[in-house]
Amino acid sequence: MNLSLTESPSADAIQAAREHIAYIGKLLFERFLFDAAGGNISVRVGNRIVISPRYSGSMRHWQLKPEDVLVTDLDRNILDGSGQLSREVNVHFKLQTEFSEHGTAVIHAHSRNILVFASQSRPLPPVLEATRKFGVTPVIEFAPAHSPRLAERVAASLRGREVRIMGHAAGVIAPYHGLFLMGKDLDAAFDAVERLDNNAYCIMMGGMLVGGLGVMENQHKMEDIISNYKEAQS
């Protein structure tokens, strides 16, 4: 259940979110969707934000215990947990408050294949049936890591894509930095990060196989095939 920003969650709901973040963070790290240098997770449970602590990768190697995961109020006061707030707290709180009716989970990922697109400031078009639902993952205008300006630019890119968040997830690529994504819940957000990273890998490997223009031609071909198949079934 998606509790509103004014509702107080139960202790059991908070504990479940802390356990889930610890578990998903370890999965993301093991699957090269996080790296030691970065990656963070938050889940909103009513009027509480549950968020991974700073240095979860570089110092804790994503071997978090549930009690390590921070619990805060909406004013960023730490109520429970060990350590400091993530340095990307500005993005997390911006999205968790502005899009609270649409989703509850935010992931900032340094996914191995998406980082290639970030390094070149390239948007990520869908080339797989499994990623069509996300549309093109755009690149925002540069803003420094950890800054309020970055938070605003990520939020601005997600505006108008609330339906995608409610249905599954929507993300943006921050140039020279990584992926920011909001999902309807944490499982959906994790799933979307891996789908998008696989999509990035397919574009890069497909470019080696058929050339860059061939990849884009095949994207259009995919859309035609899927659209025509649906028409044939109607």
| 221 occurs within a structural domain | no
| 59 occurs within a structural domain | yes
pLDDT exceeds 70 at position 89:
yes
For residue 45, give the CATH number of its domain: 3.40.225.10
| 113 occurs within a structural domain | yes
| 228 occurs within a structural domain | no
Q: Looking at residue 166, what is its pLDDT?
A: 98
Average pLDDT of span 48-55: 97
| 181 occurs within a structural domain | yes
Domain that residue 139 falls in: 11-205
| 226 occurs within a structural domain | no
φ, ψ for residue 221, nearest 5 deg: -60, -40
**In whole angstroms, what is the distance from residue 164 CA to residue 169 CA?**
5
Asked if residue 135 lies in contact with residue 124, where contact means CB atoms within 8 angstroms, the answer is no
Q: Looking at residue 104, what is its pLDDT?
A: 98
Tell me if the pTM is above 0.75.
yes
| 58 occurs within a structural domain | yes
3-state SS of 19-74 is HHHHHHHHHHHHCCCCECCECEEEEEECCEEEECECCCCCCCCCCCCHHHCEEECC
Token reading at 38: 């970065």
Q: Looking at residue 228, what is its pLDDT?
A: 86
Q: Looking at residue 163, what is its pLDDT?
A: 98
| Structural domains of the chain, count | 1
Mean pLDDT value across the chain: 94
Q: Looking at residue 165, what is its pLDDT?
A: 98
| 6 occurs within a structural domain | no
Q: Looking at residue 224, what is its pLDDT?
A: 85
The 10s digit of each residue's pLDDT in 105-145 is 999 999 999 999 999 999 999 999 999 999 999 999 999 99
CA angle 80/177/140 to nearest 5° reads 105
The 10s digit of each residue's pLDDT in 167-218 is 999 999 999 999 999 999 999 999 999 999 999 999 999 988 877 667 777 7
